[in-house]
Structure 1
Amino acid sequence: MDITLEKASDTNASLKITLTPADYKPEVDKKLKDYGRKVQLKGFRPGHVPASLVQKMYGKSILVDEINSMLSKTVSQYIRENKLQVVGDPVPDREQADAIDWDNQSDFAFSYTLGLASEFDIDFSDLPSVTQYEIQAGEAEVNSTIADLQQRFHTHAHGEEVGDGDTIYGELKQLNGDFSAKTAFPINQMADDAKGQFVGKKKSDSITFTLEQVFPDEKARANATGVKKEEAAELTGEFTFEIDDITRNEPAELNQEFFDKVLGVGAVEDEDQFRTKVAEVIRGNYGRESAQLLRLDIEKMLLDNTPILLPDEFLKNWLLEVNEGKFTPEQVEEQYDDFTKSVKLQLIKNKIAEKADIKVEFDEVLDATRQMVREQFGFAGSEDEEMTKTIDRIARNYLLDEKNNGQNYTSTFNRVYDDKVVEYAKTQLTTVTQDTTVDEFKALVENR
């Protein structure tokens, strides 16, 4: 076997492979013998079909299969052993392959076009610093969060006069029909221009109105009348509603009961402690967003400071071919910049992993999947032995699910690999910590 790499430029090359009988014949002959022992042909006992007849019947297909298999392994092995930065897939010279005379040739020549990324290196000492944002929860943010919590843990109260956002209970009657029902009208589900007919009314007041004008949305009309949506569509015209009761949601009071509901029993003992804890939670929540922003900034900095040339024409043609007509040349051109960014970023991460000897073991993938299962099913803090076994079983089944051809394992592996590379990069880069307010941080995220 002869293998030659011919580089036309930093980003384009041809891989030429020549095979002689010494390369493929031993394996082809072995498979022909196996076929001879197994083939069943009328007039011959099993295992006694003449070798010449087996050769005539199966020789060419076995030869083609064996050479194709050999080529696939050879190309992959050559790329791996020579650490070629191949992008896209090797593209075979189909005209050359189609011209082969499989019946008479004994030596075979094949050629593959390779798209290569130019050589590059990562020197962390030459890279600029990145900023880690520490979000400070100010008084306004704490007040806003507590107000939201008070609404979430609201209490119910009865009112004397209808207000916007209240719910009124009473008897609904159709003026020119038989429909009547004891029901509830949520004011916030009414049309805005119809709310004035109800706001300000009191218990025992009766309001006459047109139902479809107050509840133009059929789903809201169904909720208000207590009938099915399709039946509510038929309820139109004038109705009366006599108010029996008015209820509204009152924000929870800042007391121990509220503190216990929000943070857990006994977590804090007074409002000052509660506010301090809320501020910590806010910082923790935004801390995850800050970590994600740092990750994006690291990736952008690596891209901006690592010049890599790609075989653009090769990649565009390859994208059209592998997507089998799903995209037009114009669509490929439109999305090409984003595609090349992802290619370059992956090349950079692979280079970092190689230099730092970063590897991902099965147990790491399994641990990441267990954590995902815990979070999805709300078992984050569970240490129960049976629960742990259940989580482990679910995680293994997810990773080893044969129905999706190993995609679950591959995607989780890639996520763990990516996380390890970025975490390593953080340890090598200069990180500058900067305090920022929540509003300033939100603006930073929006600008990204």
Structure 2
Amino acid sequence: MDITLDKKENNEATLNIRLFPGDYEPKIEQKVKQYRKQVNLKGFRPGKVPAGVIKRMYGKAIKVEEINELLSQSVPRYIQENDLKVVGEPLPDLSDAENIDWDNQSEFSFSYDLGLVNDFSYDLSDQVSITKHTIELTDKTVDESIDNLRKRFSTNETVEESQAEDTLIGAIQVDEETSHETEININLVPEEKREQFTGLKANDSVTFDIRSVFPEDTDVAFLLGKEHGEVADITGDFTFTVSEITRPAPAEINQEFFDQIFGKDAVSTEEEFRNKVKENIKENYDRESDALLSRSIRNHYINQTDIQLPADFLKRWILSRQDEEVNEEQINEQFDDYLQDLRWSLISEKIAKDEEIQANHEDVKKKARELVLSQFGMYGSEFGEDERFDPIVDNYLKGENGNNYMQVFSQVQAEKVFDYIKEKVTVEEKEVSIDDFNQVAEETK
């Protein structure tokens, strides 16, 4: 076997392979012997079919199979033995196979296009400075959070006269003979139409053009008590008569409210409640801050690391892998993002290899437990050792034919790399307002 590598300037290369009879014929002879033992042919005793007969019947198929097997082993072995840093997968020159005369040729030539990555280095020292933006937690934020919780757990109370946030309960005249009990949430009515629904009292009526107030078929169907497919052609004026007006009343700050938010008797005073809300907000802020720091680290190393990628090869490789019709224009739309992701993947993998960072099975199970608990709305260490969740966690990791396990493994590995980088570089904290933080986060995407 003769293998040569032809490197090109654009980080591409062609791997040329030439096969001779001595490379594949011994394997063919071995396979023929196997066929002789397995094939049952009329006129011959089992296991006694002559080799010549086997070759006439199956020789070409055996040759194709063995040469393909030889290539599938030789290409990755050459890449590994020569420490070639490749991206994507080798792309075979299909014209080679199309021009082969399998019946008469004894020597064969094949070629594969490769995408290569240059050797690169990274700076993982305290000379690298990354800013960690932390969010300022103000009393105003806590007050707004508590107000939102009170609205979320509000109860409806009956009022005499409607306002913009109220709900009208009553009947709409569907036709001359039919009315339908329904309700209108004034807050969902277009702002320019709300005035005719405010200032109403029980037994008042309002006539309105249904499509100017409720342009969507779904809303019209709900209002009239019809099926979605029955209302497409419904237009015109409809009259609604009010029987009751309800208004959301924010939840009272009392023990019942505390229990609804944090569980029974978790807090018992308004001060404890406020501190608990503040603690939860801070935990959320810390998660957002850590996520932004990781993105900042990722962007820093992508921008500061000289990685040259074979763009043309990667586009061809992506096109070759698509199961559905995807054209080059569609690939170009997201190609820059793909290259950024690939650069970070290469950097992250190199750091993990150089620094011997490796996720283990226990790390994966711990992360999977966190993911499962979050799906149940449970957070914190109090559920961390609850054995009731073990079967659920195990089933989750086995799901999607094991792909869930690999996804969690990749996530844990990525987190370990980020944690390692944070220990090595200089992280400077900067407290900012929530608005400034959101702006930085948008710029860091």
Same fold (TM over 0.5): yes
State the one-letter code of the partner of 1:282. I
- Which residue pairs with 2:392 in the alignment? 391
Alignment of 1:215-226 (within 5 A): 215-217=213-215, 218-226=217-225
Q: How many residues are aligned here?
A: 439
When normalised by structure 2's length, the TM-score is: 0.85
Tell me the equivalent position of 1:156. Answer: 156
Q: How does 1:355-434 map to 2 (within 5 A)?
A: 355-378=354-377, 381=383, 385=387, 387-398=388-399, 401=401, 407-434=403-430
Q: Flag structure 2 segments of 5+ consecutive residues without an equivalent.
A: none
CA contact (8 A) 1:190 1:214 kept: no
Aligned to 2:306: 307
Aligned to 1:280: 279
> Is 2:438 the counterpart of 1:439?
no
Is the Cα contact below 8 Å between 1:167 and 1:247 reproduced in 2?
yes
Q: Is the 8 A contact 2:397 2:405 kept in 1?
A: no
Tell me the CA shift for residue 149 of structure 1.
Answer: 0.8
The answer to whether the Cα contact below 8 Å between 1:162 and 1:199 also exists between their aligned partners in 2 is: yes
Q: Take 1:193 and 1:13, find their aligned partners in 2: how far apart are those partners?
A: 65
CA distance in 2, matches of 1:228, 1:321: 46
CA distance in 2, matches of 1:214, 1:307: 58
Verify the 8 A CA contact 2:163 2:199 in the aligned structure 1. yes
Offset at 1:38? 1.1
Q: In 1, Cα distance between the equivalents of 2:323 and 2:168?
A: 61
State the AA in 2 paired with 1:275.
R
TM-score w.r.t. the length of structure 1 is 0.85
Are 1:50 and 2:50 an aligned pair? yes
Change (3 A) 1:445 1:34: same
SS across alignment from 2:25 = helix
Indicate the SS of the match to 1:125. coil
Alignment of 1:182-261 (within 5 A): 183-190=182-189, 192-203=191-202, 205-210=203-208, 212=210, 215-217=213-215, 218-229=217-228, 237=237, 239=239, 241=241, 243-261=242-260
1:168 alignment counterpart: 168
The whole-number CA distance in structure 2 between the counterparts of 1:8 and 1:173 is 78
Describe the shift of the 1:214–1:252 C-alpha distance in structure 2 as closer, same or farther (beyond 3 A).
farther
What secondary structure sits across from 1:161 in the alignment? coil
Measure how far apart 1:412 and its partner are: 3.5
Task: Provide, for residues 333-352 of structure 1, a one-character-per-residue CA deviation record: whole Å limited to 9, x for no partner.
Answer: 55443332222222211211
Letter matched to residue 419 of structure 1: E
Contact 2:130 2:296 in 1 (8 A): yes
| Contact kept in structure 2, 1:122 and 1:306, CA below 8 Å | yes
Task: Give the structure 2 partner of residue 347 of structure 1.
Answer: 346
Deviates more, 1:316-325 or 1:265-274: 316-325
Say whether 1:68 aligns with 2:68. yes
**Cα distance, 1:141 vs. partner?**
1.5
Mapped partners of 1:121, 1:111: distance in 2: 31
Pair 1:18–1:220, CA change in 2 (3 A): closer
Is the Cα–Cα contact under 8 Å of residues 398 and 404 in structure 2 kept in the other structure?
no
From the superposition, tell whether residues 177 and 412 of structure 1 become closer, same or farther in structure 2 (CA, over 3 Å). Answer: same
Residues 409 and 82 of structure 1, relative CA distance in 2, 3 Å threshold: farther
**Alignment CA distance shift 1:393-1:273 (3 Å):** closer
Paired residues of 1:358 and 1:420 also in contact (CA < 8 A): yes
| Cα distance change on mapping 1:153 and 1:25 into 2, 3 Å | same
Q: Structure 2 vs 1, CA of residues 208 and 299 (structure 1 numbering), >3 Å: closer, same or farther? A: closer
After superposition, the CA RMSD in angstroms is 3.2
- Residue 31 (structure 1) aligns with: 31
Judging changes above 3 Å, is the alpha-carbon distance between structure 1 residues 300 and 53 closer, same or farther for their aligned structure 2 residues? same
* Matched residue type, 2:140: A
The one-letter code matched in structure 2 to 1:398 is G
Which has the higher mean CA deviation after the structures are superposed, 259-268 or 318-327?
318-327
Contact 1:189 1:215 in 2 (8 A): no
The CA distance in 1 between the partners of 2:184 and 2:5, in whole Å, is 78
Is the contact between residue 15 and residue 113 of structure 1 (CA under 8 Å) also seen in structure 2? yes
- Calculate percent identity across the aligned residue pairs: 38
Contact 2:166 2:248 in 1 (8 A): yes
Give the counterpart letter for 1:413 in structure 2: F
> 1: CA distance between counterparts of 2:137 and 2:35?
75
For the structure 1 residues 364 and 18, does the alpha-carbon distance in structure 2 shift closer, same or farther, using more than 3 Å as the test?
Answer: farther
Contiguous gaps of at least 5 residues in structure 1:
none
Return the offset for 1:246.
2.5
Comparing 413-422 with 293-302, greater Cα deviation is found at 413-422
Q: 1:192 to 1:36 in 2, by over 3 A?
A: same
Aligned equivalents of 2:7, 2:207: Cα separation in 1: 83
Query: For residues 56 and 281 of structure 1, do their structure 2 counterparts lie closer, same or farther at Cα, with a shift above 3 Å needed?
Result: same
Cα displacement (A) at 1:57: 1.5
Task: Tell which deviates more after alignment, 244-253 or 102-111.
Answer: 102-111
Q: Distance in 2 between matches of 1:312 and 1:237?
A: 61
Go from structure 1 to structure 2 and tell me whether the alpha carbon gap of 1:85 and 1:292 turns closer, same or farther (over 3 Å shift).
Answer: same
| Matched AA of 1:249 | P
CA–CA distance in structure 2, aligned partners of residues 260 and 324 of structure 1: 52
Distance in structure 2 (CA, Å) of the matches to 1:253 and 1:325: 56
Q: Which amino acid aligns with 2:357?
A: I
Note if contact 1:172-1:182 (Cα within 8 Å) is conserved in structure 2.
yes
| 8 A Cα contact 2:172 2:238, kept in partner | no
1:110 corresponds to which residue?
110
Q: Is the 1:2–1:19 Cα contact (8 Å) retained in structure 2?
A: yes
Q: For residues 59-98 of structure 1, what are the structure 2 equivalents within 5 Å?
A: 59-98=59-98
